[in-house]
């Protein structure tokens, strides 16, 4: 199985030995019969293979972990109940008081908020390296570098191979949040990044019906995150949700192709619209990192399009968003349905107005998650919503 499209269908899937079921069954059991005290003791000591309790591991969840490890080219993966549970487990599992985490953003508002509140409460300092550059922000205390493969909501890129090389030379761990790109567009581990994480709630699930997260990388690192995140934090994914992700991922490459084609058409339309001041889409030649995007993203430039209105006011954004009929006004992204949101008042309302300004998140900014509907219908919806501002 060399092609991602094939692996998305088959990886992690084995016909059920008892029933022959092709689809991985939902193993809805909190505990597992280990039979004898001796076998139970061996499983708990890590000396024998076997399930014991679904907080530590579950067959449906394990199938999903195997699929994601395969797609990201990792030795191992561990799944969680949300992307945020991954982030907190990475901090609590791999860092200690006195350590620093340098991030290249701007990041999803919830991630930056978590670094600043949970991280700093436990003595972990978060350093924003976005504007000063990573090299200038690394200190002897830096233990982790965090980067989004396409930033939320500005859709900027960082050169992942460069970030990995810089950190590796100093023995610093690197984590890439690949939520916006998915392994269809970029595989950070192949570029030297140590750990890749996702909010599976988005493209991996793809249907807006489940929350989950996953992190993949070297077995020893993943084991440490598993021990803290599942054993101590209890952030495990439920088997029902794991089933939805297993099903969603089978069509991920097909969906991503449709998202990318739709987003490219929407971005072109918006770029030519008189009511629009700027369009942020890495596939446009006007994107400041278009060359890096061509190098780092494969097979498309993603399904997200962020744009700014000429009238840079919340009222103008409200006028457009409230007039949309096909796009649903909601946070989240990566669903087959198209979604639209106002980052300043929603996804990034947790960060200070100063941080929003520094990140370029203006009041007239609108973020679109382009679904798999026909692009002509999406463009017609945007055209009617923007028309009063033209």
Residues annotated as part of the active site = 55, 108, 177, 202
* 141-200 residues near ligand 3LM, rule: CB under 6 A: 148, 152, 177, 179-180, 199
SS (H, E, C) 288-345: CCHHHHHHHCCCCCCCEEEEEECCCCHHHHHHHHHHCCCCEECCCCCCCCCEEECHHH
Residue (43 or 233) nearer to ligand 3LM, CB? 233
Inter-residue contact 60 to 239 (CB < 8 Å) = yes
Position among 24, 54, 89, 111 found at the interface with ligand 3LM (CB under 6 A): 111
Query: Any contact of residue 83 with ligand 3LM (CB under 6 A)?
Result: yes
- In this structure, the dihedral spanned by the alpha carbons of residues 355, 360, 363 and 365, taken in order and rounded to 10 degrees, is -140
Could you say whether residue 281 binds ligand 3LM (CB under 6 A)? no
Query: Who contacts 291 (Cβ-Cβ below 8 Å, separation ≥6)?
Result: none
Q: Which is nearer to ligand 3LM, 174 or 199 (CB)?
A: 199
Size of the site for ligand 3LM (CB under 6 A): 19
Cβ partners under 8 Å of residue 287, min gap 6: 155, 280, 281, 293
Question: For residues 102 and 146, is the Cβ–Cβ distance under 8 A?
Answer: yes
307 bridge partner residues: 279, 366
Per-residue mark of binding to ligand 3LM, 296-335 (x: CB under 6 A): -----------------------------------xxx--
Both tokens of residue 175?
A: 């984590």
Region near ligand 3LM per CB under 6 A, out of 25-33, 54-62, 104-112, 224-232: 104-112
Pick the closer one to ligand 3LM by CB: 181 or 275: 181
Residue 37 beta carbon to ligand 3LM: minimum distance, rounded to whole angstroms: 39
Phi, psi of 195 (to 5 degrees): -135, 140
Distance in angstroms (rounded) separating the CA atoms of residues 285 and 335:
26
Nearest approach, Cβ of residue 299 and ligand 3LM (Å): 20
List the structure tokens of 295.
């190098």
The H or E element that residue 280 is part of is strand 276-280
| 77 Cβ neighbours under 8 A, 6+ residues apart | 65, 66, 68, 69, 214, 215, 216, 217, 222
Note whether 90 binds ligand 3LM by CB under 6 A.
no
In this chain, which of 58, 130, 182, 201 binds ligand 3LM, going by CB under 6 A? 201
By C-beta, is 32 or 108 nearer to ligand 3LM?
108
Does 82 participate in binding ligand 3LM (rule CB under 6 A)? yes
The yes or no reply on residue 241 touching ligand 3LM (CB under 6 A) is no
Q: CB under 6 A: which stretch of 52-60, 107-115, 162-170, 301-309 binds ligand 3LM? A: 107-115
Q: For residues 43 and 85, which CB has a smaller minimum distance to ligand 3LM in the complex?
A: 85
Evaluate the CA torsion angle 310, 311, 314, 320 in order and state its sign. Answer: negative
Query: Among 57, 93, 106, 110, which residue interacts with ligand 3LM (rule: CB under 6 A)?
Result: 110
Q: Does 213 bind ligand 3LM (CB under 6 A)?
A: yes
Beta strands in 180-248 (DSSP E): 195-199, 213-217
Under rule CB under 6 A, residue 88 binds ligand 3LM: no
Shortest distance in whole angstroms from residue 100 CB to ligand 3LM: 20
Q: Taking the chain, what is the end-to-end CA distance rounded to the nearest angstrom?
A: 51
Q: Which residues bind ligand 3LM (CB under 6 A)?
A: 82-84, 108, 110-111, 148, 152, 177, 179-180, 199, 201, 211, 213, 331-333, 347
């Amino acid at each position: 199985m060399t092609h991602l499209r094939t692996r998305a269908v088959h990886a992690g899937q084995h016909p059920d030995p008892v029933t022959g079921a092709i689809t991985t069954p939902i193993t809805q059991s909190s505990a597992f019969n280990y039979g004898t005290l001796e076998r139970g003791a061996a499983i708990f000591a890590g000396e024998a293979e076997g399930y014991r309790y679904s907080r530590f591991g579950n067959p449906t969840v394990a199938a999903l972990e195997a699929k994601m490890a395969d797609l990201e080219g990792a030795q191992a993966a561990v799944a969680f109940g949300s992307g945020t549970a991954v982030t907190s487990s990475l901090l609590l599992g791999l860092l200690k008081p006195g350590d620093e985490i340098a991030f290249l953003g701007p990041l999803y508002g919830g991630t930056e908020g978590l670094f600043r509140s949970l991280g700093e409460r436990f003595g972990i300092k978060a350093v924003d390296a976005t504007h000063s550059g990573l090299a200038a922000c690394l200190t002897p205390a830096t233990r982790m570098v965090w980067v989004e493969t396409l930033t939320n909501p500005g859709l900027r890129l960082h050169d992942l191979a460069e970030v990995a090389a810089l950190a590796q030379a100093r023995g610093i761990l690197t984590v890439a949040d690949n939520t916006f790109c998915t392994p269809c567009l970029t595989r950070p581990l192949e570029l030297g990044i140590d750990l890749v994480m996702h909010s599976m709630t988005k493209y991996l699930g793809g249907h807006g019906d489940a929350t989950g997260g996953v992190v993949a990388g070297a077995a020893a690192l993943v084991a440490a995150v598993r021990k803290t995140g599942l054993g101590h934090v209890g952030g495990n994914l439920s088997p029902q949700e794991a089933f939805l992700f297993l099903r969603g991922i089978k069509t991920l490459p097909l969906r991503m192709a449709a998202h990318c084609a739709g987003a490219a058409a929407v971005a072109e339309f918006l770029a030519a619209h008189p009511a629009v001041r700027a369009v942020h889409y890495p596939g446009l030649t006007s994107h400041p990192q278009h060359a890096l995007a061509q190098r780092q993203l494969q097979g498309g430039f993603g399904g997200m399009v962020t744009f700014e209105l000429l009238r840079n006011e919340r009222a103008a954004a409200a006028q457009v968003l409230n007039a949309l009929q096909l796009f649903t006004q909601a946070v989240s992204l990566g669903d087959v349905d198209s979604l639209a949101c106002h980052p300043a008042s929603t996804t990034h309302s947790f960060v200070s107005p100063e941080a929003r300004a520094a990140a370029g998140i203006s009041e007239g900014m609108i973020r679109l998650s382009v679904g798999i509907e026909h692009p002509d219908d999406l463009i017609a919806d945007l055209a009617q919503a923007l028309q009063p501002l033209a």
